[in-house]
Amino acid sequence: MDDDHHFVIAKEGWGHIAIVLFLSIIATILAGWWSIIFWLTLLFVIQFFWDPVKHIPSNSGGILSPADGRVVLVDRCINPEDGQDSIKISVFMNVFNTHSNRSPVEGVIKSKIYYPGQFFNAAFDKASHDNERNVLIIEEQNGWSVTCVQIAGLLARRIICYPQEGDRLSRGQRYGFIRFGSRVDLYLPSRAVPQVTIGEKVSAGETIVASI
């Protein structure tokens, strides 16, 4: 299982960076200043996989954002995994956001479910149902649970989720990564009180999106 012992460049990006760096050097040798496009691409790839240290809030009742990005949905709904009334909060990550995902709560993973699917724009709500996605149901010590769904997007082609059923995640722990634009949905108990609004920017492991 992944944890927070990693460099400020996500390990998921090391191979990509190495390839683009190699191509940039070769292009410079062969084409001189025309290689600038390769170096700009390298800067973009490094930026995409930038993975800074997060400062986890001490408020134990606060549910943390699982992703960096922009809130695109805050609403009441039925959790598709258990049929319960829920509060749904969705965070959309564009290609300029950090794409590491972090646990919104501390708890044990009761279920891990993978769904194959399409690759529609993750900013649209239909992505919650139609796109490729990976579901974690995390049960807190007091018995309530949070459903955290990683969703592939228009450009995303790989969802990475390290923990398995039975593993325990600490609050704000890094648990996965989605490459190149995506979305994370949270389904919270119906008594949860949202602390964010649509359009608000949030930071994974740092922004409290709801309280219970």
Q: What is the pLDDT of residues 34-72, one digit of tens each?
A: 889 988 988 888 877 778 888 888 777 789 999 999 999
Distance CA 92, CA 149 (A): 12
- On whether the CB atoms of residues 120 and 141 are closer than 8 A, the answer is no
Pull the structure tokens for residue 119: 């690759």
pTM of the model: 0.80
Per-residue pLDDT reduced to its tens digit, 132-157: 889 999 998 788 899 999 988 665 56
Closest CA to 172 of 133, 210, 203, 144: 203
* pLDDT band, very low/low/confident/very high, at 198 (cuts 50, 70, 90): very high
List 136's β-bridge partners, or say none: 112, 148
- Provide the 3-class DSSP secondary structure of residue 10: coil
- On whether the CB atoms of residues 203 and 68 are closer than 8 A, the answer is yes
Length of the chain measured in residues: 212
**Residue among 24, 182, 190, 203 flagged as catalytic:** 182
170 is an active site residue: no
The whole-number average pLDDT for the span 20-40 is 87
Instruction: Quote the distance between the C-alpha of residue 53 and its chain's center.
Output: 15
Distance CA 75, CA 96 (A): 26
Distance CA 210, CA 14 (A): 34
Distance CA 177, CA 67 (A): 9
Predicted local distance difference test score (pLDDT) of residue 48? 75
Distance CA 108, CA 4 (A): 18
The whole-number average pLDDT for the span 89-102 is 86
